[in-house]
Amino acid sequence: MPASRRGSASVTLPTGQTLAFHSHTRSSEDDDLPHATKKKMADHLRKYESLFTLTPQRMRMIVEAFKESLETGLAKSEQIVPMIPTYVFGWPTGNETGDYLAVDLGGTNLRVCLVTLQGNGKFEITQSKYRLTEEQKQEDGQKLFDFCGECLKAFIDLYVDAGTIAKESRLPLGFTFSYPCSQNSIDHGELIRWTKGFGAPNTEGHDVVKMFRQSLEKHNVPAEVVALTCDTTGTLIASHYVNPKTRIACIFGTGCNAAYMERVGDIAKIKHLGIPDDAEMAINCEWGAFDSFEHENLPRTKYDQIIDESSNKPGEQAFEKLISGRYLGEILRLVICELIDEGVLFLGQNTYKVEIPYSFDTAFLSLMESDPTDELLMIIGIFSHFFALETTLAERQFFRALAKLVGRRAARLSACGIAAIVSKMGYLEEGCMVGADGSLYNKYPGFAERIHEGLHDIFGEKGRNIITYHAEDGSGIGSAIVAAMTKQRKIAGLYPNL
């Protein structure tokens, strides 16, 4: 038996918990378990490189198709990329003031915020988070909103007792609901479809603001829902509030989306509202749906098809399923399982843990890519601790390279979406800032750099004029600013019914 090499490292779990571990590995040449050789793994890697690599020419083709989808969504209702008018009119001035509540029903948590806008682009925020269980995401929709109402009531009571919120006050509230809704006014939103793993019945096709108001009334919550926004629209407004050069906002996290400000004259489907053509309105693209159903433009592999077919919404959210944090770990896991089935990996070892769907978190890919340690110690730890599997150096090098391929494809596809908006709006010459948020953008090593590389590959040197940066908090600050803008607009009598 050869000598083992030992080491120690730590892994941050998706829950935020840090796990320390000690691990050992043997070399593949002397191992008593059969392992893939370096040459064999290199041969397999070449196959996956051809599957997951996007050429600049292919990216430019995707951008053109994407742009066409954006324009179709602005022209007609009920399109695959819905291009939802948000009834957020124009940019914030930066001088909005007052106390506002914000409630964000996100993918993992419910977040409740008290935001004090101080003018001059300044603010203070106080917040609490409440964990959503998987059961809550699937049980009756009104129950879900009742939970939101209870949490908001507890939050307000806490800060009334502390003297931060005045007794008997009824604060305006911005409700961040980051799922595609059709809106005919700022305080109305009919859920088109759940995304991000939600499936609460009796909600799709219903006005979520009305449902939330019923829950607020039921729990005697002293708050008035003024505006419904998605996190992406909120991110657009909050980022512009702090950085007026911002023209686009994107979320790259559990889901993916983009928002930007459109000239009303170019939104043909709301012509009947009689809003002046030169007015501006934020558009919530809901671009995660791009290329859904027909699958004509995106480079889907068989792994992407498996994910799609086994999802709770087959055929839908095609773009999201290639680039969002919910799916990247699963793409890599499916490749690993294929190689296990082919007798390439982990022969003689019990692989049942890694064969469980979604057991390979996208956070693991992030850790694998950031692993600079001797012989990729972090990867040893991930496989030994979470899956009870031993790896060789050749396998670890392969896993790291594969993680890079999957992550790079996601970033380059993300660049295609940004490029479609830039191209449509003519932002390339003067350049623009793109506020970006979400766990992938913020935590995945090299994600932002790969987006910029992709923009350069699409546009050439001028692509350097498009700069992404870490966005302001859209679902908290942005939602509150939207509530403030809406309140001021209605007091001024500007489009009071919208």
State the catalytic residues: 178, 193, 231
Contact call for residues 451 and 415 (beta carbons, < 8 A):
yes
The number of C-alpha atoms within 13 Å of 56 and in the hemisphere containing its C-beta is: 10
Token pair 């992938």 is found at 440
DSSP string, 267-290: -GGGGGG---TT-EEEEE--GGGT
Q: Token pair of 161, please? A: 């007792």
Q: H-type helices in 275-392, by residue range?
A: 302-310, 318-323, 328-341, 362-369, 377-381, 387
Distance CA 330, CA 310 (A): 12
Output Rg (C-alpha) for the chain, integer angstroms: 24
Say which amino acid occupies 85.
P
Using N-to-C axis directions, what is the helix angle for 141-161 and 208-218, rounded to 10°? 50
Of 228, 114, 121, 127, give the one whose Cα is nearest residue 169: 114
Closest Cα partner for 402 from 131, 36, 53? 53
Chain-centroid distance, C-alpha 260: 16
Helix axes 328-341, 393-425, angle to 10 degrees: 140
- Widest CA span of the chain, in angstroms? 82
Contacts of 88 (CB under 8 A, 6+ apart): 186, 227, 229, 233, 237, 281, 282, 482, 485, 486
Please tell me the distance from the alpha carbon of residue 367 to that of residue 382, in angstroms, as a whole number. Answer: 9
Structure tokens belonging to residue 15: 């829950």
Total Cβ atoms within 10 A of residue 38: 15
Name residue, tokens 């030994």. 384
| 290 Cβ contact partners less than 8 Å away, ≥ 6 residues apart | 66, 69, 80, 81, 297, 298, 318, 319, 417
- The residue whose two tokens read 């008035």 is 224
Half-sphere exposure of 11 (CA within 13 A, CB side): 26
Single-letter amino acid code for the residue at 412: R
Instruction: Give the length of the chain.
Output: 498
DSSP state of 89: E
